[in-house]
Structure 1
Amino acid sequence: MRVFAKRLILPGEVRHDAVLEIDSPAPDVRLGTVVPAFANTHSHAFHRLLRGRTNAGGGDFWRWRTEMYAVAGRLDPDLMFEAASLVYAEMVAAGYASVGEFHYVHHDAGGRAYPKHEMEAAIAAAAHEAGIRLTLLDTLYLRGGFGRPLLPEQRRFGDASVDRWLERWHELRSLLPGVVLGAAFHSVRAVAPDEMAAAVRGLPDDVPLHVHLSEQPAENVECLAATGLTPTGVLEEAGALSGRTTVVHATHLTDDDVRTLGEARVFVSMCPTTEGDLGDGLGRARDLADAGARITVGSDQNVTVDPFEELRLVERGARLASGRRGIFTPAELWTAGAAAGHRALQQDATLDLVEVDAASMRTVGCQPEELFMAAAAADVRTVITQGVVRGAPDLDRAARLFERIAG
C-alpha cells in the first residue's frame, strides 16, 4: 500500500509530495495534508459514560469521583465492551492510533474474579474492533487511602494482595494476543510504599509502568503526613521511577519532585481537558520537559476526545502559568502528541497516519507546522492505522448505549 501525501508534517519538517509505503494489501491512497497519528497515553474508557452528565451540581474532584464510582458499579463485561467500543472508535476518528487504557475495574460488583478475565478481554475486543493499538495498563489498587481498606464501592478494583495481582497479571500476559500488557499503580493512596516496591520486583523490567501522581493537593498532604515524603519521593524509594515509567497529571509538584522526575527520564501524561474539567490545576509541563521528562498527552476521562485540543491546552496552560507565549516549539508539541506517546506505550505506530483538512474554517491560512493550534478532531478526514483506512463511528450504536444507561 502506498500513501501519496501532498504535504507531510513532521516535527521540525514539512515534506511535499511524500510517498509512504505500508505493508498492507490495501489499495494506494492519495491524501492532502498528513500528520503522524497520535498516541493517547491515558484513558479510562468507561468514564465516557459520564460525559455531559455531571456538571449541574458543581462540586470538586472528590464529588465527581463519587459519581464515577456509581457508574463503575454498574459495569459488567458487556457494558464495558460497549463503552470501550464507543470511545475507541471516537479516538480513531479523532486521529489516535494507540491508547493506554488505565484499567482497574477487574472484578464483579461483589469483588469476585471473573473466571476468564472477561473485563480485560472486553477491552481488548473493543480495541481490536476499533482498529486502535492497545496498551492495557492493568492496575494495582489495594487501599481506599493511606492506611485505610478499600471502600465497598472500590471492592471490585482490588486483588487483596500484591501476590494475587501479580499472579493475575502474568495470566493475562498469555491471554491477550495483539495487546501490549503494561502495569499501573493507581496512586500512592491506593498502594502502600512496601506494596509498590514488591510489585516492581515482581514485574518484568521491560513493561510500561504508569501511575497517577499528585493530581490533587489533598493527596500530597496525606502522603506527607503518612510517609514523610511527597508522592514522587514514595515512587522513587519504591524503585518505580525509570525511563519506562509514565506519571499521569503530575500537577502539584515541588521543585525537588520536578528534578527527580526529570533525572529518571520519565514520561509525563498531561491530560489538560480532564484537568480543566475536574479543576485539578495547571501542571508544570515546561519545567518537567526542561528537567529531562518527556511530555505526552492523554484524554483520561474522555470528556473530550481531541488530540489537537490536548496539545493546544498543554501550550496554553503553560502560557497561563508563565505569562508568556510560545512556551513549547511546534516540533516539541508534535513529538508529544505522537512519537513520545507511542514510546510511552511501547507501540510501533510509525506508519499510522492522519489526514487533516488544512482548508476548513478553522485551519485555512495556518502555517503547516502550527496546524495543531487551530485544528480540531472534526478536521480529521482520513485515518490509517495498522495498514487499514478506518471508517466513521456508528452513532446509532452510541445512541442505543445511552438509552440503555438511562434505563
Structure 2
Amino acid sequence: MRWHAEFAWLGDGVAADVLIEADGERFTSVTPGVPAPPDAARLPGLTLPGLANAHSHAFHRALRGRVQADRGTFWTWREQMYKIAERLDPVSYRALATAVYAEMALAGISCVGEFHYLHHGPGGEPYGEPNAMGEALIAAAADAGIRITLLDACYLAGGIGQPLKGPQLRFGDGTAGNWASRVDSLYESTGKTARPHARVGAAIHSVRAVPREQIAAVASWAKEHRAPLHVHLSEQPAENEECLAEYEMTPTRLLADCGALGALTVAVHATHLTEEDIGLLGTTTTGVCMCPTTERDLADGIGPARDLCDAGSPICLGSDQHAVIDLFEEARAVELDERLRTRQRGHWSSGELLAAATSSGHYGLGWPEAGRLEPGAYADLVAVGLDSVRTAGPGPQFAAETAVFAATAADVRHVVVSGREIVRDGRHLLVDDVPAALAAAIAEVTAEPDPESTPAPDTES
C-alpha cells in the first residue's frame, strides 16, 4: 500500500510530497520530497497520524442537544444521563456505539478510549455473559473500523460513604475483587480471540465512586497486567470537598497514597488542583486527559493544562460526553482556554497540540506504537483538506497551525486505520449513513413510552 501526501506532519514539522508505504497494518517507509508515483493513492491537503480520542462515554452522545434546553449544573446533567443509562441493553448499546464510533472515524479518530462503567442489567442484575456490555462496545469499534481500549471502570459507591442506588446499580460489582474477576475474563478473552483492534485497560471511576481501601486493588490489577489506568480526577469542587472531609487529603494525594499514579495512569479532567497536586501528577509522569468541550459544556472550569505539562504530565485529549466530536476543537481549546485564564496568548505550539491529539493519546491508551508517521507504527492516516471555507488561504507554511486553529472535523477527507481505508472523500465506507444510524440509535434509547401501550392500573387489587 502506498500513499502520496501533498503535505504531511511528521512530528517535528510539515514536509511536502511525502511518500508513505505500508505492509499490512504497519508503515514500512515515510519519505518526504518524492514525486508522486502513479500507483500511489493521492492525499491532498495535510496528512496527520490517526487521532486518539482518549476519553469517551459512548452513550452520552444521546444527550447532545437535549441537555441544552434548561439551566443547571453538572449534577442536574447527571440525572439526565442516568435516564439514558437505564434504557440501554447490549443490542441497543452496540447500535448506538457503532454510530458514535463511525462519527469519530469521520472526524479522523483511529482509536478510542472507552471509559466503560455501564456493566450490568437493570437493578444491577448481571447478564448471562457478565461482560455483555463491554463486548458490545468492542464489537461496535470493529463495526466502525477503529481501534478501542476498553477502560473497564470500577464503580462501587454512589458517593463517598454512600451506597449505589437507582441506575447506579448497573455500574457496580460490589467489591474491587469482584470487578477484577470480571475484567480478568474480558482481558483474557480479548487476548485469545482474533480481535487485534481491541485492548483492555482499567479505570477508577473517581474517588467518590471507589473507596480508599479498594483503589489500591484496581491500581494493582493495572500494574500486574501492564495496562492503562484512567481515573476521573477533581472534575468538580464538590469532589475535592468531600474527599478532604472524609480523608483529610485531596483526591490526587489519595490516589498517590494508594499507588494509583504513574506513567501508565491518565487523570481525566484534573480541573481543580492545588500546586501540590500538580507536582504529584508531574513527578510521577501521570498523563492528563483534557476534555475542553465537555468541561465548558458542564461549566466545570478550566484546568491548568500548561502547568501540568511543564511539571511533567503528558497531555492528551478526549471528547468525553460528545457535546461535539472534534479533536481539532479540543486541541485548540486547550490553548484558547489558557488565553482566557491568563489573558495571554501563545502557550501551546501547533506541534504540541497535534502531539496531544495523536502520539500522546495513543500512548495513554496503551498503543505506544501508534500516532506517528514513521516506519513500524500502525498505518493510520488522516487527510485534512486545506481548501475549505475554514482552511483556505494561509498557505502550506502554516498547514499545522491551520489544522489546529481553523479546521474542524468536517475538513477530514480520508481516514486509514491499520492500513485499511475507512473514510473516503468524507464518506464512511463501513457504516452507510452515519447520521441516520445515529438518529435511529438515539431515538431507541430516548423515546418516551407510549401511554396507550402501558397497561391500565388494576383498580380491584
Q: TM-score, normalised by structure 2?
A: 0.86
1:269 match: secondary structure: strand
The aligned residue for residue 31 of structure 1 is 43
Secondary structure of residue in 1 paired with 2:88:
coil
Matches within 5 A, 1:335-354: 335-347=355-367, 348-349=369-370, 350=377, 351-354=379-382
Query: Does residue 183 in structure 1 map to residue 202 in structure 2?
Result: yes
The CA distance in 2 between the partners of 1:182 and 1:402, in whole Å, is 27
Find 2:384's aligned residue among 349, 352, 356: 356
What does 1:111-122 correspond to in 2, within 5 Å? 111-116=124-129, 117-122=131-136
2:288 aligned partner? 268
Which whole-Å CA distance do the structure 1 matches of 2:55 and 2:220 have between them? 24
1:277-356 matches, within 5 Å, as 277-347=297-367, 348-349=369-370, 350=377, 351-356=379-384
Q: Which residue of 2 aligns with 1:12?
A: 12
Q: How many residues align?
A: 407
Matched, 1:148 2:162: yes
Partners of 1:114 and 1:23 in 2: CA distance: 41
Larger radius of gyration: 2
8 A contact 2:202–2:218 mirrored in 1: no
Please name the residue that 1:134 is paired with. 148
Aligned partner of residue 118 in structure 2, secondary structure: coil
Contact 1:210 1:245 in 2 (8 A): yes
Partners of 1:47 and 1:302 within 8 A in 2: yes
Please show how residues 4-403 of structure 1 align to structure 2 within 5 Å.
4-24=4-24, 28-32=40-44, 33-116=46-129, 117-176=131-190, 177-178=195-196, 179-203=198-222, 204-347=224-367, 348-349=369-370, 350=377, 351-366=379-394, 367-371=398-402, 372-391=404-423, 392=428, 393=431, 394=433, 395-403=435-443
Q: Separation in 2 of the partners of 1:83 and 1:205?
A: 30
SS in 2 for 1:301: coil
Give the alignment's Cα RMSD to 1 decimal.
1.4
Shift of 1:205: 4.7
Spell out, residue by residue over 1:49-88, the C-alpha distance to the aligned partner (whole angstroms, 9 max, x if none): 1111011121000000000001101110011101111110
Higher mean C-alpha displacement, 147-156 vs 370-379: 147-156
Counterpart residue identity of residue 211, structure 2: A
Residue 18 of structure 1 aligns to which amino acid in structure 2?
Answer: V
Name the CA distance, whole Å, in 2 between partners of 1:265 and 1:402: 39
Matches of 1:401 and 1:189, distance apart in 2: 31
- Partner SS, residue 69 of structure 2: coil
CA contact (8 A) 1:224 1:230 kept: yes
Residue type of the alignment partner of 2:329 = E
Kindly indicate whether the alpha-carbon contact (under 8 Å) linking 1:39 and 1:99 is maintained by their aligned counterparts in 2: yes
Point out the more displaced range, 28-37 or 99-108: 28-37
**For residues 415 and 220 of structure 2, what CA distance do their matches in structure 1 show?**
40
Q: Is the 8 A contact 2:2 2:19 kept in 1?
A: yes
Residues of 1 paired with 2:9 and 2:359: CA distance? 13
Is the 8 Å Cα contact of residues 271 and 297 (structure 1) preserved in structure 2?
yes
The alpha carbon displacement at 1:375 in A equals 0.2
Give, in whole Å, the separation in 2 of the partners of 1:74 and 1:402. 11
Could you state the TM-score of these two structures normalised by the residue count of structure 1? 0.97
Question: Any unmatched runs of 5+ in structure 2?
Answer: 26-38, 371-376, 449-461
Asked whether the 8 Å contact 2:219–2:229 carries over to 1, the reply is no
Q: Post-superposition shift, 1:359?
A: 1.4
How many angstroms apart in 2 are the aligned matches of 1:251 and 1:196? 21
Give the whole-Å Cα distance in 2 for the aligned partners of 1:29 and 1:334: 24
Indicate the percent of aligned positions where both proteins have the same amino acid. Answer: 48
- Distance in 2 (alpha carbons) for counterparts of 1:48 and 1:382: 23
Cα pair 1:10 1:334 within 8 Å, conserved: no
Distance 1:148 1:403 in 2: 33
Moved more, 370-379 or 389-398: 389-398
Q: CA deviation at 1:175?
A: 1.9
Does the Cα contact within 8 Å between 2:100 and 2:438 map onto a contact in 1? Answer: no
Task: Between 272-281 and 363-372, report the one with greater CA deviation.
Answer: 363-372
Deviation track 1:267-311 (CA, whole Å, cap 9, x = no partner) reads: 110000000100000000000000000000000001100010000
On the 8 A contact 2:52/2:110 being kept in 1, the answer is yes
What is the CA distance between 1:389 and its match in structure 2? 1.2
Cα pair distance change 1:163/1:402, threshold 3 Å = closer
87-96 or 27-36, which moves further after superposition? 27-36
Q: Secondary structure of 2:301's partner?
A: coil
Deviates more, 1:351-360 or 1:394-403: 394-403
- Give the distance between the partners of 2:12 and 2:167, measured in 1 at CA: 48
Cα distance 1:48–1:296, how it changes in 2: closer, same or farther (>3 A)?
same
Distance 1:201 1:245 in 2: 12
